[in-house]
Structure 1
Amino acid sequence: MAAALLLVLALGLAASNALTHRRLPSAPGVLLEGQERWFTQRLDHYNGADTRAWQQRYFMNDSFTQSGGPVFLMIGGEGAANPAWMTQGTWITYAEKMGALCLLLEHRFYGKSHPTEDMSVENLRYLSSQQALADLAHFQTVMTEKLGLGDRKWIVFGGSYPGCLAAWYRKKYPHLVHAAVASSAPVVAALNFSAYLDVVQISLSRNHTNCSEMIKIAFDTLIELLDYQENYGKISKDFYLCQFLVIRSKMDMSFLLETIAEYIMDVVQYNNDNRGFEGVKDGNITIDVVCDIMANESFGSPYDRYVEVVQSIRQAREEQCIEASYKQFLHDMRDIHWEGSASSGGRQWMYQTCTAFGYFQSSDSIYQPFSGFPLSYHVQQCADIYGKAFDLPLINSAIQQTNEDYGGINVQSSRIIFTNGLIDPWHALGINRDLSSDLLAFPMADAAHCADMYPARPEEPAELPETRRRIFEQLKLWLQL
């Protein structure tokens, strides 16, 4: 689904598209009977005369709870809240050691948390980070009384977009939340996030000098093939496209090119992570695997090697074919029904990028191997899906408002930890150095998106265990344990 934020780990939890519109969260884990819980939430927190309410899904694990222990709140993101996180992940390790009660609140408009009867543009106006933060505040206030939590201290966790929410919740509601851990949080809203692909180029080239160069040659060859309609059959077959390739406009062309590029972008963002417990299927395709194929002349030309890379990823994901039709994309994204094919997060998340964040991963930079999907293509998607009013001036104004509201990297708060894997392109919009004695940055040179949140394993980058230890010790200090 095209374009903007690989932000989707988002834990949703997992993980934005975290954050292109196609980088949607992983499939939910197996739900245990009785595990789902429901909270009566306000529809509009900013209109006291509006008494409408809806049922928001949440999960709870009280198996570690000790008297006086903290409350851990995991913030859901741009996808269904995954109950697998209630028993796995670094925060659970912390909870066991600290005697914490664990709660996970699903983000409004995602998963089963449906505040409105459909996802019309009129209804999507209730989808915003501001409303989501107010959801957290109301949830915390009511649950504190309902569960008799008294003056227990609350710690919030989030990764990717929910990482932003974690930091912003601490900033906006300091009387409610004691501390926050914001993993891979792109706290700066940006219209043209061309730097995303710059980092992709750097990450590909770290240990493979010619890898990015070979990908550029391959991609340029693909563009040359697209100059002649007689090559469309070959391209359709090479990349296992779900429909025979049809190019009627620049948008059709850009959508195909971005679709093919995203296979590499995804590998870089999630390089060598440990998302398997969420149900993610990637066959452990890493940067090393991609670059080894691109260096292997036995596969043929650089174009042929790129085809081999994409097919390896497609097969690892168990995808039957690759959907690269912009017409089909628009059909799916315009569906306002909760049963629609883009209702798992695509329509909702793109709305948030068009009305708050931008995060458009264009190919406008000359310092990376891809081309053909400029900023204008991403902006046009907003208008094509939600209407002509969603134009460049509106998007620019919305992004400015987001940065004015939250401060971007100029965070004025306390007791927040920001972690970022420097292989992850999203770190370019995050906080990578300490801002004060209790606004701390833990950069990780060899780690990818939200890597510190996942369960530990022997194959992970060497700095992850130390980062988890530092987070734990810092939380203990802040909690005075």
Structure 2
Amino acid sequence: MIKTKQQDQQADSKTGQQDRLTVIMPVLLVLKLLLSSCLFLTFVVPNVNSNGTPLFSIAGRLFLGGLLHNDDHVAFKAKPEDTSKYEKYFTQKLDHFKKNSATFQQRFFVNAQYSTNNSIYFLLVEGDNVASSSRVSNLDYPHMISAKDAGATVYNLEHRFYGSSQPFKTMSAKNMTFLTSQQALEDISNFIRTQNQLSGDKNPKWILFGGGYGGSLVVWHRQKYPGLSTGVISSGATVIASGDYYAFQLNVENSYKEADKNCFNGINNAINRLKQLVQYEEGRDILNKKLNLQPPFSSKSLPKYRDLQNFFHNIAVLLQIPVQNNKVNAGVFATEVGIDNICKIFNSTAIENLDKVAQMAKFVITQLNGTYTGVSNSYHDTVAYLKNETFDVNQSRAATRAWFWQNCNEFGYFTSTDNSGLAFGSTIPNNFFINLCVDVFGHHHGIMNVLKVVKNTQDSYGREKKFNQTNAVITRGSVDPWKSLGVESVSDKTAIAYLVNGGAHCAEFQPPKSDDSYGVKMARNLIKTRITRWLSARTKKTMEKVAELKERTQKNFSKRREIVNWDAKIEWNITLPEESALLSAPPGKDRPILADFIGQTSANRHLKRQKEENAFAAKSAGVKPFYFLGYVLQDLDHFNSSNNLAKKWRQLFVSNNAHKKKDGPIFLMWARQFGASVYALEHRYYGYSTPFTNLTVQNLTYLTSEQALGDIAVFIKAINKEHNKTEAEQKWILFGGAYAGSLVAWFRLKYPELSTGAVASSAPVQAKTDFFEYLFVVQNSTKNFGGKTCAKNVHEFFAWDKAA
């Protein structure tokens, strides 16, 4: 059953208002960064006061102190939408594994604006995130562009216990026993089945999207219920539960090291300085003042061990945020908060190590928060915040407590520094997170419970980083610290596990920007291509596009000028004249070595020419030559008889009948496998096929691709006549590469009756006056295949703005 939010909340409105009045709101920014559902980096804003701010990360949720809201900081923001226009509620089972009648209202958003009634549905599966109308309405997002192209209805399903999808009024540990990924997978299945029943579609095609934890859900769902979806798109998914994910910090450190080794060393020296100062009273006083710790370390007593762990964890979080979200096109991460920004601070020689940490903390928190009141420094405040069981109006605390519950009772994902290459060492051990589980949820949630639940999760979803189903694109960023828990291989060719070179956490799910890495752009293209392939050409939208393309093509080529004279004679067994001195001469004064490369698309002319007899002749004694040279007598102008004035010119062709079979096809290249005759036709004005003895501008006016297509058409007709075959009887297959590939493609469109098919390779079919993209490909290829050092050296060589 689906009903509106108003009907569901009327009875509890008074009680809910009283509950919300009792909520304590610290200065807190709940920043869903690390493993949160990263489809759209979403920010929840609490109220602000002057107290200290917990700064904490729970496998994906960071608390900073601040002022960010929902999609306000996503670039290319759409116009504000009326949430009620898309918001609906679905009656969901509370427990899918026991027979009972308990239900709750699960929120979802839906937009059928672009639907063409073709039974195509896009479902964005939320993880530890609050669902939003922007997920189904903002056309800046790649999935919305694909939805519009495919004519799909778009859904965004909120995860149980997150956002407004609350089964209970409080977030007690007892109530949250129903918060598991297994229940969430059943929620998805029940939702899809119900929508199918309501629509009455006999062949619905569902494409599931998910990022972060949501990405894990769609991967697991595809493997468990492949019959309910056509395919899945997953980004940044962590599919392996891990009680101690120390690789997270290692990946963070490696990203800094790969970006700038001096920066890495600077960070290392700064952390060493912190470790020195925290050991004695005067040093802690310096930390209190320099970092504006809230609350400060006490000068009267030694800090507790957990307070020290909490302090170093908060510093680590400030270094982790820019890496995981490096250049992700969402708010400040697009340009302001990334690895380069942090390295500018730690590469500075003007300030000492502690000042670098202070500047880094102020920079990151200010960018994310809008203001800076210091670095939070209270383990007690964090525990108190997480122990609060009330449901808060802005939904941040409930979502944070829910996600921490799943960490302590399903996944682990605890980001310790026990194996850190930096000076953090063991300052943030794994038991820091396990102790937090105990302090928040009780002594039953200690180390033995964590080991048990992580093993259970691994038993359920597997321990291999391999996807064993069809139709999936599963991406993970090379810069994303969560990449080590992601899918690395697949068992079926219809699925792809793709490492996004230069990509951070879910970067390809964000709106495109001009300086996105090549890997991010490739990932978006891969996703788009695979979705199109899965949905195939059977959809109404696709059929309309095909019809439109066909109509446009026919319109363009229906304007073709008719060939005046189809009667061309063939001269067989001709002898080639000697090459001119200029043609056969090595590069020099009269033949500059680079001149041949100007605007050149074909590789053949770059290669060293060989004598014709070496290329074609059969030298063995007594062996009959397998090739024949010939001319076809062509008109200079196929479309205007007055220009010809009996002007004929000879066009060279080569014929090879060595593999010919009776009634076999005719190829303009390969032949052996198909028992075909082969012809190679030289282009007018190239090689020996020259209508004039000189290449004046006036003479070159007859050198056009349109005339070349006419040459091919007349040649085919002439050969058919030689063999007494009609066009219907003779099967011609045309081959061409580069510009020749363009010709055979255009020929197939312009003269479809004269060929059975065409094979074109590397054909530039679009005319362009400024093909600047060519050097982009050269540049990216240099980077990808030659390495960063090669690309850097090439860049420095061509840095014209620098002094020689």
Q: Distance in 1 between matches of 2:144 and 2:360?
A: 35
2:310 is aligned, of 255, 269, 273, to 255
Instruction: Kindly provide the amino acid, as one letter, of the partner of residue 399 in structure 1.
Output: V
2:160 is aligned, of 83, 108, 127, to 108
Could you say which residue in structure 1 is the equivalent of 2:364? 313
Instruction: Kindly provide the amino acid, as one letter, of the partner of residue 197 in structure 1.
Output: Q
Q: Distance in 2 between matches of 1:94 and 1:33?
A: 22
Q: Distance in 2 between matches of 1:162 and 1:14?
A: 14
Q: Distance in 1 between matches of 2:416 and 2:447?
A: 15
Could you say which residue in structure 2 is the equivalent of 1:83? 133
Q: Distance in 2 between matches of 1:162 and 1:200?
A: 22
Could you say which residue in structure 2 is the equivalent of 1:19? 59
Alignment of 1:162-241 (within 5 A): 162-241=214-293
Could you say which residue in structure 2 is the equivalent of 1:385? 440
Could you say which residue in structure 2 is the equivalent of 1:326? 379
Q: For residues 41-65 of structure 1, what are the alpha-carbon distances to aligned partners after superposition, in whole Å with 9 as ceiling and x for unaligned? A: 111111112x111111111111111
Q: Distance in 2 between matches of 1:26 and 1:108?
A: 24
Decide whether the 8 Å contact of 2:41 with 2:330 is kept in 1. no
2:510 is aligned, of 454, 459, 471, to 454
Q: Distance in 2 between matches of 1:325 and 1:283?
A: 31
2:429 is aligned, of 371, 374, 387, to 374
CA positional deviation for 1:69: 4.5
Q: For residues 91-136 of structure 1, what are the alpha-carbon distances to aligned partners after superposition, in whole Å with 9 as ceiling and x for unaligned? A: 1111111111100001111111111121111011010101111111
Structure 2 residues without counterparts, runs of 5 or longer? 1-27, 44-55, 72-79, 538-804
Cα 1:477–1:282 change in 2 (3 A) is: closer
Q: Distance in 2 between matches of 1:56 and 1:472?
A: 29
Q: Confirm or deny that 1:272 pairs with 2:341.
A: no
Instruction: Kindly provide the amino acid, as one letter, of the partner of residue 272 in structure 1.
Output: K
1:40 is aligned, of 78, 91, 104, to 91
Alignment of 1:431-446 (within 5 A): 431-446=487-502
Q: What is the aligned-residue RMSD (CA, Å)? A: 2.5
Q: For residues 216-257 of structure 1, what are the alpha-carbon distances to aligned partners after superposition, in whole Å with 9 as ceiling and x for unaligned? A: 111121121111233434323322333223464211111111
Decide whether the 8 Å contact of 2:489 with 2:497 is kept in 1. yes
Specify the SS of the correspondent of 1:378: helix
Q: Distance in 2 between matches of 1:448 and 1:348?
A: 25
2:454 is aligned, of 378, 399, 406, to 399
Q: Distance in 1 between matches of 2:158 and 2:57?
A: 17
Could you say which residue in structure 2 is the equivalent of 1:122? 174
Instruction: Kindly provide the amino acid, as one letter, of the partner of residue 345 in structure 1.
Output: A
Instruction: Kindly provide the amino acid, as one letter, of the partner of residue 270 in structure 2.
Output: A
Specify the SS of the correspondent of 1:328: helix
CA positional deviation for 1:480: 1.9
Identity %: 27
CA positional deviation for 1:258: 0.4
Which deviates further from its counterpart, 280-289 or 461-470?
280-289
Which deviates further from its counterpart, 259-268 or 239-248?
239-248
Instruction: Please identify the structure whose Cα radius of gyration is greater.
Output: 2
Instruction: Kindly provide the amino acid, as one letter, of the partner of residue 415 in structure 2.
Output: Q
Q: Distance in 2 between matches of 1:65 and 1:131?
A: 30
Q: Distance in 1 between matches of 2:68 and 2:468?
A: 33
Q: For residues 335-388 of structure 1, what are the alpha-carbon distances to aligned partners after superposition, in whole Å with 9 as ceiling and x for unaligned? A: 011028862422111110111111110010142342311111111111111000
Q: For residues 122-179 of structure 1, what are the alpha-carbon distances to aligned partners after superposition, in whole Å with 9 as ceiling and x for unaligned? A: 0110101011111111111112222344422101000010000010111111121121
Q: Distance in 2 between matches of 1:383 and 1:205?
A: 35
Instruction: Kindly provide the amino acid, as one letter, of the partner of residue 503 in structure 2.
Output: A
Could you say which residue in structure 1 is the equivalent of 2:339? 287
Q: Distance in 2 between matches of 1:392 and 1:251?
A: 16
Instruction: Kindly provide the amino acid, as one letter, of the partner of residue 349 in structure 1.
Output: W
Specify the SS of the correspondent of 2:340: helix
2:475 is aligned, of 412, 419, 427, to 419
Q: Confirm or deny that 1:351 pairs with 2:405.
A: yes
Which deviates further from its counterpart, 162-171 or 331-340?
331-340
Cα 1:403–1:148 change in 2 (3 A) is: same
Q: Distance in 2 between matches of 1:105 and 1:458?
A: 31
Specify the SS of the correspondent of 2:114: coil
CA positional deviation for 1:285: 1.3
Could you say which residue in structure 2 is the equivalent of 1:57? 107
CA positional deviation for 1:410: 3.7
TM-score normalised by length of structure 1? 0.93
Decide whether the 8 Å contact of 1:14 with 1:77 is kept in 2. no
Decide whether the 8 Å contact of 1:195 with 1:428 is kept in 2. yes
Structure 1 residues without counterparts, runs of 5 or longer? none
Cα 1:469–1:69 change in 2 (3 A) is: farther
Q: Distance in 2 between matches of 1:26 and 1:370?
A: 30
Decide whether the 8 Å contact of 1:22 with 1:346 is kept in 2. no
Decide whether the 8 Å contact of 1:200 with 1:368 is kept in 2. no
Cα 1:452–1:480 change in 2 (3 A) is: same
CA positional deviation for 1:209: 1.2
Which deviates further from its counterpart, 426-435 or 182-191?
426-435
Cα 1:5–1:309 change in 2 (3 A) is: closer
Decide whether the 8 Å contact of 1:89 with 1:454 is kept in 2. yes
Specify the SS of the correspondent of 1:480: helix
Instruction: Kindly provide the amino acid, as one letter, of the partner of residue 113 in structure 1.
Output: S
Decide whether the 8 Å contact of 1:5 with 1:20 is kept in 2. yes
Specify the SS of the correspondent of 1:273: coil
Decide whether the 8 Å contact of 1:13 with 1:79 is kept in 2. no
CA positional deviation for 1:13: 6.8
